[in-house]
Amino acid sequence: MRWIGKSIINAFKNPAGTLKAFLNRWRHIIYRVDQLNLSFDADNLELNRRPVCISHHEPFLSREGRLKLRGNGTIDQNAVKRILILKLDHIGDVILSLPAIKMLRHKYSDARITILAGSWAIPILERVSDIDEIVVLNYFHERSEKWKAPLDEGVLKDIKHRLSSSGFDMVIDLRRHSGTGEVFGWTDVRYKVAYFTKENKRWLTHGLHLSDEMKDTPGQYIKPHISAQLCELVLALPGKFTAGINPFEISPEIFSIECGKEIVERFPRLFGADFRIGIHPGTGNKIRQWPLCHYASLADLFVENLGATVAFFGVDNEKDLVEDIISKMRHPEKAISLAGTTSLIDFISIIRDMKIFIGNVSGPCHIAGLTGVPTLNIFAGQVSSYEWHPLGKKTMAVWLDVPCAPCYKALPEQCPYDLKCLKFLWPENVFDAARELLSTTGYGGKEKKNSPPLRI
């Protein structure tokens, strides 16, 4: 240990020459202490060598090992006339449940389908023809990291009365994780169906156990897409599903919203630009938040190399976040903040004509993917891109391949490596992924003349 201490002192005295010798001599000891090589960041040597992955994932249904519904007896398909879907999650999760809702409608074509969902999802669900009725309940907090929202006793009493008096024959929870089990206790329904969790077992009449590949096992990156997992639950119900129907092909009418004259007049600088890109830098959980300084540098790369005008989107409480990013840009005059200025429907109409849309793992990216705009999703190491990739043909995910991912940590404070899966995914890496997405989706534009060389 005496020699290690002396080597460290010499490294500080002459970092250019001695540091390399120190690393070469003591690398094996450093690796024993940190087997994942993530806290070792001298000159960023190790993390800068980690591969950056760019990929497109298509959900699919497995034809082998179909999961079997477990429970009390069998479900009488002919007795199911009124169905209640529980989908209380945030908007991204709601978007990813649309294939399962489509499949449920085809299996029970004559049934009346009601969905219990948060108010944030109403503008989308109102456009889904497979749903007959929507009941609103903000069960979770607006930000996912804050978990459940406080429920007003009066509102809760009204919801319980409405659900218990609606004569539902079956309740199905399109949520794979725990959190909403108590809602099953609010109704006296013959069939209560979901994936089994420790929380909901006492309420369910029928359910599915997770297969090994579905479980949130740290380090297991290749997993079935979450939309496919929810479809497996619907497939396990009695009734036939037409083989020729692809549940993952969502009706384009849901997201085909034309941009009105009023919107164009509100943002003349944006609609007067030739090359428009959209960025949503916010997220419901800080453990998925790509650094704001990286977003600023990424926007500058688009400006300098492609002459882009950059529109930043966000909800009302993300205004300061967007302004902070713009203040960090070298070309703030090419950025426009739309945070807190548009409705969800306006947002959809605006992004449809963007050259590309970029963001963290959050609702706006899942929406963008289904509008048909090329969408690049920046993934943290928290979850697998195979499982949470946006739906849509023109979508890609980019992430830094670190050996601790996916970790399934709930909060950034739980990460022992200071979110290096995000911090060491450089703006140049993401810009390179964006150019690949643009080239594969048909963009044939040229780089801006006299632009500085791309820094890789």
Arithmetic mean of pLDDT over the chain: 87
Residue 55 DSSP label: E
Q: Are residues 32 and 107 in the same domain?
A: no
pLDDT band at 104 (very low <50, low <70, confident <90, very high): very high
Residues 6 or more apart whose CB falls under 8 angstroms from that of 108 comprise 77, 80, 83, 239
Least confident of 84-93, 95-104, 443-452: 443-452
Report if residue 448 sits inside a domain: no
CA end-to-end span of the chain, whole Å?
Answer: 38
Q: Of 32 and 219, which is predicted with more confidence?
A: 219
* DSSP run (H or E) holding 123: helix 122-125
Sheet arrangement for strand 335-337 = 52-55, 395-400, 375-378, 356-359, 276-280, 309-312, 335-337
Q: How far is CA 102 from CA 87, 118, 138, 246, in A?
A: 14, 19, 23, 9
Residue 135 and residue 155 in one domain: yes
Please give the pLDDT value at position 449. 47
Token pair of 346 as six digits: 């306006």
Q: Is the four-CA dihedral 342, 346, 350, 356 of positive or negative sign?
A: positive
Query: Is the backbone of residue 50 left (phi > 0), alpha (psi -120 to 50) or beta?
Result: beta
Average pLDDT over residues 12-34: 52
Q: How far apart are CA 440 and CA 267, in angstroms?
A: 29
Q: Please list, residue by residue across 60-84, b when 16 or more beta carbons sit within 10 angstroms of its beta carbon and e when fewer do.
A: ebeeeeebebeeeeebeeeebebbb
Measure the CA–CA gap between 91 and 155, rounded to whole angstroms: 21
Whether residue 454 lies inside any domain: the answer is: no
Mean pLDDT, rounded, for 95-117 = 96
Q: Is 53 exposed, middle or buried (0-12, 13-18, 19+ CB in 10 A)?
A: middle
Going by C-alpha positions, the residue among 232, 206, 218 that lies closest to residue 61 is: 232
Let me know if residue 421 belongs to a domain. yes
- DSSP result, 133-174: EEEE---B-SSGGG-BPPPPHHHHHHHHHHHHTS--SEEEE-
> Residues of the chain with pLDDT > 70: what percent?
85
Q: Which CATH number is 93's domain given?
A: 3.40.50.2000
Give the end of a domain, one of 180, 215, 247.
247
pLDDT over 80 (residue 85)? yes
Residue 449 counted as domain residue: no
pLDDT tens-digit readout, 382-409: 999 999 999 999 999 999 999 899 999 9
Q: Are residues 183 and 281 in the same domain?
A: no
Q: Which band of pLDDT confidence, cut at 50, 70 and 90, is reported for residue 261? A: confident
Q: Which residues pair with 53 in a beta bridge?
A: 399
Q: Specify the higher pLDDT residue, 175 or 443.
A: 175
* 127 and 35, same domain (yes or no): no
Whole-number Å distance between alpha carbons of 433 and 399? 10
In which band, very low, low, confident or very high, does the pLDDT at 4 lie, cut at 50, 70 and 90? very low
| 225 is a domain residue | yes
State the pLDDT at residue 243. Answer: 67
pLDDT band at 442 (very low <50, low <70, confident <90, very high): confident
Q: Is residue 203 domain-resident?
A: yes
Q: 128-139: per-residue pLDDT in tens?
A: 999 999 999 999
Structural domain total, the chain: 3
Residue 65 counted as domain residue: no
Q: What is the pLDDT of residue 2?
A: 46
Mean pLDDT of 409-434: 93
- 193, 226, 247 - which closes a domain: 247
DSSP-assigned beta bridge partners for residue 140: 148
Instruction: Round the CA-based radius of gyration of the chain to a whole number and report it.
Output: 24
159-177 tens-digit pLDDT: 999 999 999 999 999 999 8
For residue 150, the model assigns a pLDDT of 83
Q: What is the mean pLDDT of residues 284-297?
A: 94
Full-model pTM: 0.86
- 171 and 211 share a domain? yes
Question: From residue 3, how far is each of 9, 22, 183, 219 by CA, in Å?
Answer: 10, 10, 63, 36
Statement to judge: residues 208 and 260 lie in one domain = no
Q: What is the pLDDT of residue 450?
A: 45
Whether residues 316 and 233 fall in one domain:
no
E strands, 346-429, in order: 356-359, 375-378, 395-400
Whether residue 421 is found in the same domain as residue 291: yes
Predicted confidence (pLDDT) at residue 330 exceeds the cutoff of 60: yes
pLDDT at 179: 87
pLDDT of residue 22: 61
Q: What integer pLDDT is reported at residue 33 of this predicted model?
A: 46
DSSP SS3 for 359: strand
374 and 420 both lie in a single domain: yes
- Distance, CA of 245 to CA of 248 (rounded, Å): 9
Mean pLDDT, range 342-361, rounded to an integer: 95
* Domain range enclosing 130: 70-247
Report the alpha-carbon distance of residue 131 to residue 133 in Å, rounded. 6
Task: Tell me what pLDDT residue 232 has.
Answer: 93
Determine the residue type at 178: S
Query: For residue 64, is it within any domain?
Result: no
- What span, in angstroms and rounded, lies between the C-alpha atoms of 103 and 98? 9
pLDDT per position as a tens digit, 206-227: 999 998 899 999 988 889 999 9
Indicate if 270 and 209 belong to the same structural domain: no
Does 64 have pLDDT greater than 80?
A: no
- pLDDT one-digit tens code per residue, 175-218: 998 889 899 999 889 999 999 998 888 899 999 999 889 999 99
Cis amide linkage into residue 406, ω under 30° from 0: yes
**What pLDDT score does 62 carry?**
74
Residue 237 sits in the same domain as residue 269: no
Same domain as 92, residue 33: no
Query: Which token pair is 150?
Result: 């406080």
Are the C-beta atoms of 88 and 184 separated by less than 8 Å? Answer: no
